[in-house]
Structure 1
Amino acid sequence: MPYLLHLRGTREGTTIHNYQQPAKKPGGGCLKLLLLGVAAPVALLVYVLIGAGSRDEQSLAYTPAGTPSPTFSPGVPVQKAEEVLAEVSTPKPTPKAPGIGDVVRDGKFSFKVTKVERRSVVGQGLLAKKAQGQFVLIHVTVKNVGGKAATFSDYNQKLFDSKYREFKADSGTAVMLLKNSNAYLKQINPGNGVKGILLYDVPKSAKLTTLVLRDSVFSAGARVGLR
C-alpha cells in the first residue's frame, strides 16, 4: 500500500503531505506481455477448430427438403440396376377399348354392337339403291337402362375412319329399304330394348375404326372399336 510521509513545517504552521507509490518489482510487465502473446494464438486456434467442427456437423445433418432417407431392411435383396432400367423402359399395357360384342353405356341407353357388314346395294327390285361408295350396316342392340322413356335415333350415332373423317347415318335409306331397322326416332321405355341397324354410305377405301354411340346429341358418347 502507498505510504504517507508526514512533514510538519515550522513556517506559518504549514503541514505538507507527500504521497509516493511503492517501487515496482523488476520484470513484472514483461511476464504479463509474454503470457498474453502466448494465450492469444491458442485462443484463436481453439475458436477455429470449434467453428470447423460445428460446420461439419451441420453439413452432415442437413438433408434437402423432400429427399427420402435411404432405408435398408435385413434379408431383402437390393434391386439390380438392370432390373430397374427394365421396369422403367418397359411400357405398361393400356386397357383394351370396348369392341364388337362389348356392352357400353351412354346416358339412359346401353349399346352392344353385334355385327358389321358391307353391301354395294340395299333393297330389292325397283326400290334397290346403289351406294355412292359402299354401304356399311352396323347391327346394334339398344336397351333403356334409365328411369324414363327415351328416343333412340341413328342421327346421333357417329362413324369414324382412320383419317378421322366423320360419317353420318343414311336415315332415309334405312327407313325405306331396311326392314326393321328400328334406328330412326325409336322410342324405348325403361327396361325395354330393340335391335336396330345403323346404315352408312362410306368410300370403299375407308378403314373404319370407331363408332360413337350416344344417348342424345348433347351427351359425350361411348366409343366402340370396329377393328
Structure 2
Amino acid sequence: MTEQHSTPAPAPAEQPRRSWFARHKILTTIGVVVLVAVVGGAMGGGDDDAPTTASTAVPADAAPGEADAPADPAPAEPEAPAEQPAAGVGTPVRDGKFEFTVTSVEPGVARVGDDLFGEDAQGQFLLVHLRVTNIGDEAQMFDGSSQKLLDTAGRTHSADTAAAIYVGDSNSFLNQINPGNSVDGTVVFDIPADAAPASLELHDSAFSGGVSVALG
C-alpha cells in the first residue's frame, strides 16, 4: 500500500499595507486646508498696515444728496450796540429821584458875591445853572457837593459850596425838594484858569450812580 502525502495549500498573498495618509483621508484634507489658510494669511498680512479712508456716517433717514451738502455756516456774532452820546445842555436827564436839566453854563467868573461879601476864585469859577425836579414819591435833599465836573484833561473837580453861598438864589446847599416840585439853582466849581469843562456828573445823592451831561 502506497502512502500518499498531501501538498500544503499556498499561503494567501499578503495585502499591501496602506499608508497613514491613505487611511486618514478626512484628516489629511482638513490639514491641507488649514495649511493653505495659514500660508495665505502670512502672505497677505502686510495689508494690515495699508492706510484706511475714514468714512462719514450718514443717518438712515437722510435725504438723497444730504450727506454731501456743506455744513451750515456759523451764525454771525451780533454787533455791539453803538454807544449813545451823552446828553447835552437843555436835555433832561435822570438819576434816582431827581430829573436834572442844565439850562446854561457860565465859565470864566473871577469873583462871586459883591465887593463887601464875596469870594475870589483860585483859578476861575464855572457856574452851572440847572433845574432840579423831584420825580420820586417822597422828599429828597438836593446838595451841590454831590455834583462833579470833568475837564478835557480827565480831571474831576468838586463843587465849591462855600462860594455858592454868595450866588443869589443858588438853592444848591442842602435844599429839600418835595415830590413833584422843581427848583432852579446854581452849582459853582472853582477850576484852573486854563481848564476846559468837558462834562458834568449829576447825582441825586452822594451814593447814587450819577448821570452824565456833556458840556463840549
TM-score (norm 1): 0.65
* Higher alpha-carbon Rg: 2
Matched pairs, number: 181
What is the SS of the residue equivalent to 2:130? strand
How far is 1:23 from its partner?
6.0
Who is 1:94 aligned against? 83
Who is 2:61 aligned against? none
Q: Deviations over 1:111-152 (max 9, x none)?
A: 111211112233334335432211101111100011111111
Q: Deviations over 1:145-169 (max 9, x none)?
A: 1111111110111112234333222
Separation in 1, partners of 2:204, 2:96: 5
Who is 1:150 aligned against? 140
- CA pair 92-148 structure 1, distance change in 2 beyond 3 A: closer
How far is 1:24 from its partner?
4.6
Who is 1:224 aligned against? 213
Separation in 2, partners of 1:110, 1:92: 26
Separation in 2, partners of 1:162, 1:52: 69
Who is 2:195 aligned against? 206
What is the SS of the residue equivalent to 1:132? strand
Separation in 2, partners of 1:220, 1:44: 84
Separation in 2, partners of 1:101, 1:37: 103
Separation in 2, partners of 1:214, 1:96: 19
1:25 aligns with 2:37: no
Who is 1:36 aligned against? 34
What is the SS of the residue equivalent to 1:183? coil
1:103 aligns with 2:92: yes
- Structure 1, unpaired ranges of 5+: 1-20, 63-68, 73-83
Separation in 2, partners of 1:189, 1:170: 25
What is the SS of the residue equivalent to 2:188? strand
TM-score (norm 2): 0.68
How far is 1:212 from its partner?
1.4
Alignment of 1:179-194 (within 5 A): 179-194=168-183
Alignment of 1:55-70 (within 5 A): 56-57=54-55, 60-61=56-57, 70=71
- CA pair 91-148 structure 1, distance change in 2 beyond 3 A: closer
- CA pair 110-43 structure 1, distance change in 2 beyond 3 A: farther
Give the structure with the higher percent helix.
1
Let me know the Cα RMSD of the aligned residues.
Answer: 3.7
- CA pair 23-152 structure 1, distance change in 2 beyond 3 A: closer
Separation in 2, partners of 1:196, 1:128: 18
- Structure 2, unpaired ranges of 5+: 1-17, 59-69
Who is 2:156 aligned against? 166
Separation in 1, partners of 2:143, 2:20: 126
How far is 1:52 from its partner?
7.4
- CA pair 36-23 structure 1, distance change in 2 beyond 3 A: closer
> Which amino acid counterpart does residue 56 of structure 1 have in structure 2?
A
